[in-house]
């Protein structure tokens, strides 16, 4: 099942509520929330207060992508009635198994993200503990970057690992996804697709979401 998670990193922050209403009307499935701390990645985005400003204004679930160091210190801030997933980077967690349990204990789904250069073997022994794996197809930190093609082989390999182990975690991809390459990533086993600049950079934001969704009807 294809799900689209537009990243509000590329939204017009002065019209965030309006932008979110547009993606919701277009049929988006999740709101991808990119949190950057200026340490784990070379950029600072926004924190939980901005995300929470949408509470009560949208029925869409939040897909929280924490690109921060020491995520354990901040998890609870991102737990709301709308929060579906909290994703932490394996590279940022000294005790990834403990952090995943911590996320689950807050009552939301737990996910782990891998940078393009991080091998799948780094998560081999926690695959049974995650609800989702997020594969980065750009180096995290900025919207509007070019898709790194090796992410496709990585997705296929993870899909094989998932089948061989008989597991049912979701697979998500993030970075450089456009209308013209989304099919190649879903063919590689991805179910949840993040799209930032290709959605919010469109003249007709709602229409762009509809175009993505129409590819899977
Ligand atoms: C990158 C972020 C992405 C980004 C995607 O660090 O995690 O979610 O916003 O943006 P696009 O779709 O423009 O590559
Ligand atoms: Zn992201």
- Position 73 scores a pLDDT of 98
Output the six-digit token pair for 119: 């091998």
Positions marked active-site = 34, 174
Stretch (H or E) spanning 67: strand 62-67
Give the chain's length: 217
d(CA 37, CA 45): 7
How far apart are the CA of 33 and the centre of ligand 2, in A? 7
pLDDT tens for each residue of 154-196: 999 999 999 999 999 999 999 999 999 999 999 999 999 999 9
- Beta-carbon neighbours within 5 Å of ion ligand 2: 34, 65, 174
pLDDT tens for each residue of 97-115: 999 999 999 999 999 999 9
In short, whether 143's Cβ falls inside 6 Å of ligand 1 is: yes
Ligand nearest to the CA of 140: 1
For ligand 1, atom 9, which residue shows the shortest CA distance? Answer: 143
pLDDT tens for each residue of 186-212: 999 999 999 999 999 999 999 999 999
């Amino acid at each position: 099942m294809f799900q689209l998670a537009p990243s509000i990193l590329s939204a017009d922050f002065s019209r965030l509520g309006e932008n979110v209403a547009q993606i919701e009307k277009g049929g988006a499935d999740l709101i991808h929330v990119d949190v950057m701390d200026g340490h784990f990645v070379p950029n600072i985005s926004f924190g939980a207060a901005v995300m929470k400003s949408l509470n009560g204004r949208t029925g869409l679930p939040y897909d929280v992508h924490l690109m921060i160091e020491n995520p354990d210190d901040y998890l609870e801030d991102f737990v709301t009635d709308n929060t579906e997933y909290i994703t932490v980077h394996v590279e940022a967690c000294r005790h990834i198994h403990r952090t995943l349990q911590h996320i689950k204990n807050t009552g939301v789904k737990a996910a782990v993200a891998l940078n393009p250069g991080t091998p799948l073997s780094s998560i081999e022994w926690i695959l049974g503990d995650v609800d989702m794996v997020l594969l980065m197809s750009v180096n995290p930190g900025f919207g509007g970057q070019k898709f790194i093609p090796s992410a496709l082989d990585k997705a296929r390999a993870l899909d094989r690992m998932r089948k061989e182990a008989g597991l049912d975690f979701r697979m998500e991809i993030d970075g450089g996804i456009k209308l013209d390459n989304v099919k190649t990533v879903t063919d590689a086993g991805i179910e949840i697709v993040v799209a930032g600049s290709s959605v919010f950079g469109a003249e007709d934001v709602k229409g762009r979401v509809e175009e993505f969704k129409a590819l899977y009807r």
